[in-house]
Every structure is written in structure tokens, then in C-alpha cells.
Amino acid sequence: MFDEVSEWLDQVLEDALETGIPKEVTAFGFNLYEDGDYDWSMELVGTSEFDMDNEDWLCNEVTDFDTRDDPFQWNQKAEWEEILKDITCLLKKYLNSGKYVNVLKEKSGIGVGFVDGNIEILYANIAEK
């Protein structure tokens, strides 16, 4: 599934670069949703805050890069904990070798989590802290 996530994220970030990432964006977050019947979706948002000690930073959304209307969607027979673990692994892989990893890592941080759950920090730009 890495190839599919990577292709989606490449397209989202390519479009964002073309239209311009808002200056207010200081971090990126991947919001996960359970859509029912083992259907899952993920969107990418840009936030105006990043705080490793306060997970509410992800609520300070500046943009959803049009991914709310066009999220990454998949079907996987699993519980939410396994989905979070799997997506976290895929996103970490992207952060090691993805086409636009530099765009993501130039901000203060990157997190992932279900919209009603805890956030896992995937990356923190220590130079920014």
C-alpha cells in the first residue's frame, strides 16, 4: 500500500506547491477517519501551530490542501489501532524516501492520528524548537 499512499501524497504536495502553501502553515497533520465497514480515509492538513506537549495543535487548521474532498481511501479489515500502526509505518517510510519529504520536513513538525484520538508525532524539526 506504500506505493498508493506515496502517489496520493506526491500529488497532494505537488498541487500544494503549485498553488502555494499558506505562510501560516507551521506543521502538517494526517487526520485518519473510520468510515465504517472497514473503510478508512486520510487527509493532510496544514496547521498554524505545533506543540509536542499539547495535541490540540492539530485543531489549528489553516488548510486541508483539498484532501477533505479527495482523501486517501482504502478498505482493510482491521481495528483502528492496527490502522494507525500501519499508516504510521507507511508515513515514516515516506519521510525517509518520499519525493516531497523536504516540503514536509521544512516545517516544525508532522503528526498522525484519528480525529478523535491521540496524535503520534512522526517528525519534529528540532532546529525550530
Residue range 102-106: average pLDDT? 96
H or E element that contains 13: helix 2-19
Instruction: Report, as an integer, the average pLDDT of 90-98.
Output: 97
Least confident span in 33-42, 49-58, 76-85, 95-104:
49-58
Mean pLDDT of 115-120: 89
Average per-residue pLDDT for the chain = 95
Query: Is residue 129 scored above 50 in pLDDT?
Result: no
- Burial zone of 3 (CB within 10 Å; 0-12 exposed, 13-18 middle, 19+ buried): exposed
Task: Provide mean pLDDT across the span 87-98.
Answer: 97
pLDDT at 10 over 70: yes
Predicted TM-score of the model (pTM): 0.94
Encode pLDDT of 63-90 as tens digits. 999 999 999 999 999 999 999 999 999 9
Domain residue ranges of the chain, discontinuous segments joined by +: 2-128
CA separation for the pair 76, 85 (Å, rounded): 13
